[in-house]
Chains A and B, each alone.
Chain A
Amino acid sequence: MHRIVRWVAILGVGVAGLLVVAALVIWFGFVPAAQQPSYQQVASWGGPGSAAGQFDGPNGIAVADHRVYVADSLNHRIQIFDLQGHFLSIIAVGPQGLLPQARPMNLNIAGDKLYVGDYWNDAVQVFTLDGYLLRTLGGQQGAAPGQFRAPGGASAEPDGTIVVADFYNQRVQMLSPQGRFIRQIGTTGHKGYVAGGSFNYPMDVAVSTSDGHFYVADGYNDRIQEFDAQGRFLRMWGGPFGLHLPASINFLGGLRGWFRTPTSVTIGPRGDVFVADQENNRIQKFTADGRFLTAFSQPPQAPGYGVGAVAVAADGSVYVTDLADQRVEVWKPAKRP
């Protein structure tokens, strides 16, 4: 009897020791300290509804040319504001606008064009910054090259190559400016959990204007992947080595530098990468090569997930959509104490 008790005790101490070692390795090896001060919220606007300036599912945001574009998904429109939140105009469903029943998701601006992922119509639409429709790509659900299945976001490289997060097809497509298929990353319809270049519901893309590198919000793999302008995998991050560890989904995903469903990614004026870390209700900021810089958040007043999407203005102000409170928030770097 004593021998059994002793072995159980030894086993318990051994397991506890392993857990402590694992915790120390994770904490010191994979939980980076903040390198920059946090941000503070300085303004917000919006609220639930369908009137001008109100939102129902603000799932995307982009900023350029002193204007803020918000994908108002369930109102089937994109609203345009000035940087202070004053309503300017709207891109609505119509012959020169969005497709019927449009469900615009992530928005991205590249050059002088606005790229819209229309989740409902399986299309990518390209607009001028004044809201004039230039081109509609796709529009019929499918898995063939150049077709989409619920694209979550799209953007373009400096040479015009369009990059699309093709959500249900588990791939990223690269298309010519006219929509001709060039190549894809990932295996159509097959989720990949570990290897770089494989996806588990890619939700958004962000393209660097300096070198054409692009970043993919690999949503349910809880990581960001970076590729060069030709689509070659460079690196990934979000937990140890960016590998999708089951334990990271709900248990460890809240650690600094880790994610729980990154839904939106964008690049700031200095090349830093900002990620909307939805289930953690926070924005995380990284260097271009994935080193953690800082994070910031504020819980929504209404129940549900707050953070939806993120964009950064030329002056470094960060614009965030709050899905629970149906509004847009403006954040600026906090002053050092």
Chain B
Amino acid sequence: MSSNLRHRVLNMPRIAFASALLGLAMAFVAVFPAQAATSAATAQQAWPADAYVVHVDGLACPFCAYGIEKQFSHLPGVTTTDVNLASGVVVVHVKPGTRFDQAQINKTVQQAGFTLKDVVSQPTGGR
């Protein structure tokens, strides 16, 4: 009985189409996890946050660390920037109410000479 019901549900065109899309999305995430995260972040236009955790490709030496710190310091609202060379993670602390979008962060990382992998916002304290 249950097998028959499943067969009928899956044969409904809309359900089949949605299942195919879901399958494609799951495959994309499995193959390109970083891009998927970046795409998800892009979908959010500008997030309020206490800090932005930025994953970067190519961080190698103090020159890199200082360069990206300096570049983020030019953005309004940034208070401090912590760079972890070993993990390639940059934590950008901001004043309350500061909002950055993916494009701003991507541009800043590129101006510092690096490639953005993904961004995660740390929620503001009140949320």
Report Cα–Cα, A185/B60, bound state, in Å.
Answer: 25
The answer to whether A73 and B62 have CB atoms under 8 Å apart is yes
Do A305 and B70 have beta carbons less than 8 Å apart?
A: no
Q: Please tell me if A219 contacts chain B, counting CB pairs below 8 Å.
A: yes
Contacting pair A279 B61 (CB below 8 A): yes
Counting chain A residues whose Cβ lies within 8 A of the other chain, the interface size class is 20 to 34
The answer to whether the Cβ of A303 comes within 8 Å of any Cβ in the partner chain is yes
* B62 adjacent to A168 (CB under 8 Å): no
* A115 CB–B CB distance under 8 Å: no
Instruction: Supply 11 further A-B pairs (C-beta < 8 A) apart from A220-B60, A304-B85, A305-B85.
Output: A73-B62, A105-B63, A119-B63, A119-B67, A150-B63, A203-B63, A219-B63, A261-B60, A263-B61, A279-B60, A304-B86
**0/1 string, A123-165, CB within 8 A of B gives 1:** 0000000000000000000000000001010000000000000
User: Does chain A have a CB within 8 A of B17?
Assistant: no
Looking at the assembled complex, report how far the CB atom of B123 sits from the nearest CB atom of chain A, in whole angstroms.
29
Say whether A150 contacts B61, CB under 8 Å. no
> Which residues of the partner chain B approach A150 to less than 8 Å between Cβ atoms?
63, 66-67, 70
11 of the cross-chain contacts (CB-CB < 8 Å) are A73-B62, A73-B66, A103-B66, A119-B67, A120-B70, A150-B67, A152-B63, A219-B63, A263-B62, A304-B85, A305-B61
Point out the residues of chain A lying under 8 angstroms from B70, CB to CB: 103, 119-120, 150
Contact A308 B62 (CB under 8 A): yes
Residues of chain A with a CB closer than 8 A to B113's CB:
168, 201
A-side contacts of B86, CB under 8 Å:
303-304
Nearest-Cβ distance from residue A140 to partner chain B, whole angstroms: 13
Give residues of chain B (49-106) contacting chain A, Cβ–Cβ below 8 Å.
60-63, 66-67, 70, 85-86
How distant is A298 from chain B, measured CB to nearest CB, in Å?
19
Contacts of A119 on B, CB cut-off 8 Å?
63, 66-67, 70
Closest chain B residue to A303, Cβ basis:
B86
Q: How far is the CB of B47 from chain A (nearest CB, A)?
A: 28
Q: In the assembly, what is the distance between CA of A263 and CA of B66, in Å?
A: 14
Contact at B67–A168, with CB atoms within 8 Å?
Answer: yes
> Which residues does chain A contribute within 8 Å of B85, judged by CB atoms?
304-305
Closest to B112 in A: A168
Contact partners of A57 in chain B: CB under 8 A: 62
Which residues of chain B are near A263, meaning CB under 8 Å? 61-63
Q: CA separation between A120 and B63, bound complex, in Å?
A: 11
Give residues of chain B (23-62) contacting chain A, Cβ–Cβ below 8 Å.
60-62
Determine the chain B residues whose CB is within 8 A of the CB of A303 once the complex forms.
Answer: 86
Whole-angstrom CA separation of A261 from B64 in the bound complex? 11
**Contact between B66 and A261 (Cβ–Cβ < 8 Å)?**
no
State in angstroms the CA–CA spacing of A73 and B62 once bound together. Answer: 10
Does A320 sit within 8 A of B, measured CB to CB?
Answer: no
Instruction: Report B82 CB to chain A, min CB distance, Å.
Output: 12
Q: Give every chain B residue within 8 A of A219 (Cβ-Cβ).
A: 61, 63
Minimum C-beta distance from A268 to chain B (A): 24
Bound Cα distance A103, B68 (Å): 13
Alpha-carbon distance A68/B62, docked complex (angstroms): 21
Contact residues in A for B66 (Cβ distance below 8 Å): 73, 103, 119-120, 150
| A-B CB proximity, top 3 nearest | A261-B61, A119-B66, A278-B61
Contact A201 B62 (CB under 8 A): no
Q: How far is the CB of A188 from chain B (nearest CB, A)?
A: 15
